[in-house]
């Protein structure tokens, strides 16, 4: 207990030092997009550190334990998404002038009203994503220090908010790169340690466990569930505000393109390592262990206390990497796409608003964190809203020569309403039944279909209402 506390305190002090060296943002452009000066190494490191958060570490280890390498095939859709964004979307986004957010890009294509709607949706989703990260971080800290959940949640939120509020995007990116280097090597080391010291039978035994788990995963998963998982991981995090902001903050279009492509390639390796850890845990962790506890139980049971404490600190860094990017992106979106539509013309006022917005979003997300059922489920609910609400309008707008505002407006409204309504009804049904439904991603498919239909309807209706709504 003493060692764990010392390591956590030492880690927090080191984190604050690293963030302080990134210097406090003194201009709004520095706070929001780091003056468009981020090099390849920092953008790549921040992208990887953001997406290998609790969903793709804690969550994927749990899925590897329960369904073997089934989720490697599903996770490959996420890697493909990163590569496609790098090749087709991120450079076009970076080429736009005067953009601080994805909402700015939508505003340039469709008008101020659509930018305001996109901003509201983006802030909502950043807050929901942040709630998932805070919940996961609170669970880790609670497990490590034995403190009440509310105190653990508050601790995670306060530490992350402190350096994100003052340092802005640059501090977030630099600390993310530091986190990425720490946990990428450590988690690979955990896998090797478990294989060499606790997993008996060598490669042949590992292959048997992997085949058994993967076969069981395919047998217990319906085709509809697999399809919806693939769609969710392919589209659910595409151009979410932290990624869009990194594309805009890249030094050049080439840096933007290469960062996303390399991050997509790394994703496959990361998923393979996490799932392999889950397979290793099968004979070492009880089968009825909850999905989000398998990694913690495995390491606590097999790794010496000092190693366990270091792993927990690294796991906490994974979560903080995702959280700080979401808080910064949410604050920038709220300031740029909502407040600056009506006021805050001065740079200093926008910078102050961005800092206060960071604190407010963190506070709201902390309150919502107690309602998150599990990491993967929380992410899937967010995916079911984000993709239908934003992607049709954003991607068609970037590639279309004459995008029509009414189409984007209807698509975003319908996608948000359907995605949120189906997701809420599904969660309430699950809790009422006290069981896990066979289909875990029901919202994204119907919501995306409705959003695309709404876009088409708006596209053709625009002929009759003209372009005055711009």
DSSP 86-104: IIIIHHHHHHSTT-SSHHH
**What is the per-residue pLDDT for 16?**
61
Instruction: Tell me which of 58 and 21 has the higher pLDDT.
Output: 58
Other CB atoms within 10 Å distance of the CB of residue 34: 26
Question: Is the model's pLDDT at 439 over the cut of 70?
Answer: no
pLDDT of residue 438: 44
- The better pLDDT of the pair 214, 145 is held by 214
Residues written for the chain = 470
**C-alpha–C-alpha distance, residues 57 and 319, integer Å:** 9
pLDDT of 470 strictly over 50: no
Contact (Cβ atoms closer than 8 angstroms) between residue 440 and residue 380: yes
- Going along the chain from its start, the domains and CATH numbers come out as 2-362 (1.20.1730.10)
pLDDT tens digit sequence for 105-128? 999 889 999 999 999 999 999 999
pLDDT band at 302 (very low <50, low <70, confident <90, very high): confident
More confident residue, 320 or 16: 320
Interatomic CA distance for residues 379 and 370, integer angstroms: 14
Closest CA to 51 of 249, 231, 236: 236
Q: What is the mean pLDDT of residues 350-369?
A: 90
Counts of helices then strands in the chain (DSSP H, E)? 19, 0
Token readout for 283 is 């004979």
Question: What pLDDT digit, counting tens, does each position of 196-221 carry?
Answer: 787 777 788 889 999 999 999 999 88
Question: In the chain, pLDDT over 70 holds for what percent of residues?
Answer: 89
| Distance of alpha carbon 448 from the chain centroid | 19
Q: Determine the straight-line distance between the first and last CA of the chain, rounded to whole angstroms.
A: 60
Backbone angles phi and psi of 365, in degrees to 5: -65, -35
The distance of Cα 74 from the centroid of its chain, to the nearest Å, equals 16
Question: What's the mean pLDDT when you consider all of the chain?
Answer: 83
Which tokens belong to 270? 């990361």
Q: Are 75 and 226 in contact (CB under 8 A)?
A: no
pLDDT surpassing 60 at residue 150: yes
pLDDT for residue 442: 59
CA 275/CA 272 separation, integer angstroms: 5
Q: What is the pLDDT of residue 298?
A: 85
Residue 469 has pLDDT above 70, yes or no: no
pLDDT tens-place string over residues 261-276: 999 999 898 899 889 9
Q: Which residue has the higher pLDDT, 430 or 180?
A: 180
Nearest to 58 by CA among 122, 143, 119: 143
**pLDDT for 437:** 44
> Under a CB-based contact definition with an 8 Å cutoff, are residues 146 and 1 in contact?
yes
Alpha-carbon gap, residue 424 to 444, rounded angstroms: 12
Segment 299-312 shows an average pLDDT of 76
Token pair 């890697």: residue: 79
pLDDT mean over 89-109:
88
Q: How far apart are CA 387 and CA 118, in angstroms?
A: 12
Banded model confidence at residue 344, pLDDT cuts 50, 70, 90 = low
> Which strand (E) or helix (H) includes residue 454?
helix 444-465
Confidence of residue 1 (pLDDT cuts 50, 70, 90): low
Q: Which region among 166-170, 277-281, 339-343, 347-351 has the lowest average model confidence (pLDDT)?
A: 166-170
Please say if the pLDDT value at position 52 is more than 50. Answer: yes
């Amino acid at each position: 207990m003493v060692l764990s506390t010392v390591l956590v305190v030492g880690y927090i002090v080191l984190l604050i030092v690293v963030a302080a060296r990134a210097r406090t943002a003194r201009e709004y452009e520095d706070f929001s997009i780091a003056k468009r000066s981020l090099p390849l190494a920092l953008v790549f490191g921040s992208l990887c550190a953001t997406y290998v958060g609790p969903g793709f570490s804690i969550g994927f280890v749990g899925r590897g334990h329960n369904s073997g390498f089934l989720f490697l095939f599903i996770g490959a859709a996420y890697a493909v998404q990163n590569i496609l964004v790098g090749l087709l979307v991120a450079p076009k986004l970076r080429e736009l002038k005067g953009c601080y957010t994805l909402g700015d890009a939508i505003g340039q294509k469709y008008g101020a009203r659509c930018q305001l709607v996109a901003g509201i949706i983006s802030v909502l989703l950043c807050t929901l994503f942040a709630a998932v990260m805070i919940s996961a971080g609170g669970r880790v800290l609670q497990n490590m220090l034995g403190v009440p959940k509310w105190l653990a949640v508050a601790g995670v939120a306060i530490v992350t908010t402190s350096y994100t509020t003052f340092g802005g995007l640059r501090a977030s990116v630099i600390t993310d790169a530091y986190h990425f280097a720490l946990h990428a090597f450590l988690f690979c080391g955990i896998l090797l340690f478990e294989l060499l010291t606790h997993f008996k039978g060598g490669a042949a035994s590992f292959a048997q466990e992997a085949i058994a788990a993967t076969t069981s995963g395919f047998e217990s998963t319906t085709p509809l569930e697999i399809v919806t998982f693939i769609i969710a991981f392919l589209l659910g995090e595409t151009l979410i505000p932290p990624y869009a902001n990194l594309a805009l903050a890249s030094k050049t279009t080439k840096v933007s393109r290469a960062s996303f492509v390399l991050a997509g390639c790394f994703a496959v390796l990361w998923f393979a390592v996490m799932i392999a850890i889950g397979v290793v845990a099968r004979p070492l962790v009880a089968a009825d262990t909850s999905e989000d506890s398998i990694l913690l139980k495995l390491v606590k049971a097999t790794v010496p206390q000092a190693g366990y404490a270091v792993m927990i600190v690294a796991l906490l860094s994974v979560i903080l990497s995702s959280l700080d990017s979401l808080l910064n992106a949410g604050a920038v979106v709220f300031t740029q796409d909502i407040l600056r539509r009506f006021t805050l013309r001065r740079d200093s006022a926008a910078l102050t608003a961005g800092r206060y917005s960071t604190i407010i979003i963190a506070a709201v997300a902390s309150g919502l964190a107690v309602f998150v059922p599990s990491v993967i489920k929380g992410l899937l609910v967010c995916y079911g809203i984000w993709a239908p609400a934003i992607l049709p309008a954003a991607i068609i707008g970037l590639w279309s020569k004459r995008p029509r505002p009414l189409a984007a407006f209807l698509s975003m409204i319908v996608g948000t309403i359907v995605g949120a309504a189906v997701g809420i009804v599904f969660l309430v049904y699950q809790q009422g039944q006290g069981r896990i439904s066979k289909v875990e991603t029901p919202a994204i498919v119907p919501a995306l279909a409705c959003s695309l239909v709404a876009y088409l309807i708006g596209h053709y209706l625009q002929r009759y209402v003209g372009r005055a709504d711009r």
